[in-house]
């Protein structure tokens, strides 16, 4: 059993990602669970579901193996990726997982990493306890409608979702539009503290 790295996400294009089961690894009672894009489309295929569970199980059973395999997939002497996305599906599992994500960024300084999260407390707690986010690891806090509170005392950049009908009042006017083509955009890999991006809801 080895960690499955995805290179077939149409939005990410050429940028690889590692993915985990949505909902199971997301924050409890997250407001987007009932309408999660990672439960639709290709994510409904059994082989895709199995690969996400497989990745999760490897992490639970042997976290060192999990992160070593992710690192080896990104940079192994033959292949070296400049950009990597944590979790097109899923979220940071726990504090230890986040520390692993930070260490991978420290160990691979020539790769730029991106992770969206709604598990704000894991990141906030890491910093609160003296941790430092490496400059090549870009964390974006994910909002969801006007009623969901984003606990963001350290001013991480924020991603908003534009709903068709309502609940768009919290989207700041300065938020950049998502083009839907990461390989040719990369703005989320360059987003800075206090900035924002907005996605149209799938």
Residue 60 and residue 42: Cα distance in Å, rounded?
25
| Residue among 5, 10, 15, 4 nearest 189 (CA) | 15
Other CB atoms within a 10 A radius of the CB of residue 42 amount to: 12
| Residue among 86, 90, 88, 118 nearest 101 (CA) | 86
Query: How many chain residues touch ligand SF4 (CB under 6 A)?
Result: 10
Task: Kindly state whether residue 181 participates in binding ligand SF4, applying the rule CB under 6 A.
Answer: yes
In this chain, which of 30, 75, 185, 201 binds ligand SF4, going by CB under 6 A?
Answer: 185
User: CB under 6 A: which stretch of 32-40, 59-67, 74-82, 174-182 binds ligand SF4?
Assistant: 174-182
Give min distance, CB of 187 to ligand SF4, in A: 5
In this chain, which of 102, 178, 195, 196 binds ligand SF4, going by CB under 6 A?
Answer: 178
User: Buried (b) or exposed (e) across 139-152, using 16+ Cβ within 10 A?
Assistant: bbbbbbbeeeeeeb
Give min distance, CB of 183 to ligand SF4, in A: 8
Q: Which is nearer to ligand SF4, 66 or 158 (CB)?
A: 158
Please report where in the chains the tokens 């790295």 appear, as a residue: 5
In this chain, which of 102, 108, 182, 196 binds ligand SF4, going by CB under 6 A?
Answer: 182
Where on the chain is the footprint of ligand SF4 (CB under 6 A)? Answer: 178-182, 185-188, 197
């Amino acid at each position: 059993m080895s960690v499955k790295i995805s290179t077939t996400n149409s939005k990410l294009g050429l940028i690889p990602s590692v993915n985990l089961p949505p909902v199971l690894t997301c924050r409890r009672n997250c407001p987007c669970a009932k309408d999660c894009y990672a439960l639709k489309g290709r994510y409904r295929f059994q082989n895709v579901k199995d690969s996400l569970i497989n990745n999760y199980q490897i992490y639970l059973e042997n976290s060192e193996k999990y992160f070593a395999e992710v690192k080896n997939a990104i940079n192994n002497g033959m292949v070296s990726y400049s950009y990597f996305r944590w979790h097109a599906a899923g979220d940071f599992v726990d504090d230890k997982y986040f520390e692993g994500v930070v260490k991978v960024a420290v160990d691979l300084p020539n790769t730029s990493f991106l992770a969206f999260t709604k598990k704000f407390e894991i990141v906030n707690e890491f910093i609160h306890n003296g941790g430092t986010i490496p400059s090549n690891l870009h964390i974006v806090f994910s909002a969801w409608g006007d009623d969901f509170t984003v606990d963001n005392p350290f001013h991480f950049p924020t991603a908003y979702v534009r709903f068709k009908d309502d609940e768009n009042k919290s989207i700041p006017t300065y938020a950049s539009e998502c083009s839907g083509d990461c390989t040719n955009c990369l703005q989320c890999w360059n987003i800075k503290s206090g900035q924002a991006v907005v996605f149209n809801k799938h």
